Amino acid sequence: MVNDMMSSPLDTVSAPGTILVIITVMVLISGCSENENEGPEVFSAFSGAQDVHRVMDDMPGEHQLVVVTGMEPGKDGKAAFWKFAYNNVTSGIPLSSVKVTVDGDGRTELEFDAPLSKTPIRNWSMDSTSAYAVVLGSLIENGTISERTSIKVNFIYLLGDKLDNRGCEWTIGMILGSETPLEVTTRVDGNTGEIIGIAIS
């Protein structure tokens, strides 16, 4: 049984102005992104969540979603694989974790491990593609990049908010440009789409 406090993958972001930013940026993404769909098919976190939930629904006990990680990230906030990590919080048994990796064809692989010291993910309503669009829009708006800047996504993952003010947040790491590349890490509220912080090095 899953107790991950996640909203339906069909939910939309309701933060004022976020929808407009996402729609505008989606038109620009193909021109800014360097990650191509080579190798395995890439897909969003919500697309993989449906197959993972089917696996977890058959898992005995109570589980809390604590980490969602894009493996081999591609462009547009998609990845070749998504790994969903849950802590088993069933009363009366030792703590443990189960990690479910899913590919673009819906195939899943399970790992069982020690519990993760992570805060449960709550109020998750923003897909990875939407979070990526918000980040890209912010970087264009503040002048960090232009529509022609090359982008390589290094990592993308979702964690619970330690202070439990937001519920969860996306973290997306990018390398911008090629001649004098910048490393940019951006954190985005996983529910509202608000930019929490941007670190540039």
Which tens digit of pLDDT belongs to each residue from 99-118? 999 999 999 999 999 999 89
How confident is the model at residue 33, as a pLDDT? 47
State residue 109's pLDDT score: 97
* Predicted local distance difference test score (pLDDT) of residue 24: 34
Q: What is residue 126's predicted lDDT score, i.e. its pLDDT?
A: 97
pLDDT for 108 equals: 97
Q: Which two tokens stand for residue 197?
A: 């912080």
Is the residue at 62 inside a domain? yes
Where the chain has pLDDT below 50, the residues are 4-37
CA distances from 42 to 3, 22, 99, 112 (A): 27, 19, 19, 25
| 1 part of a folded domain | no
Query: Is residue 126 in a domain?
Result: yes
> Structural domain tally of the chain?
1
Per-residue confidence (pLDDT) for residue 12, from 0 to 100: 29
pLDDT at 136: 94
Q: What is the pLDDT of residue 9?
A: 40
Evaluate whether residue 139 is within a structural domain: yes
Radius of gyration of the chain (CA): 17
Q: What gap in Å lies between CA 14 and CA 198, rounded to an integer? A: 22
Domain of residue 35: give its range: 18-200
3-state SS assignment for residue 176 = strand
Percentage, residues of the chain above pLDDT 70: 80
Residue 116, in any domain of the structure: yes
In the sheet where 182-189 sits, what is the strand order?
Answer: 108-113, 96-103, 79-88, 63-73, 151-160, 168-176, 182-189, 195-200
SS3 119: coil
Whether 70 is in a domain gets the answer yes
Single-letter code of the amino acid located at 68 = V
- pLDDT score at 22: 36
| Domain-embedded: residue 38 | yes
Domain contains 6: no
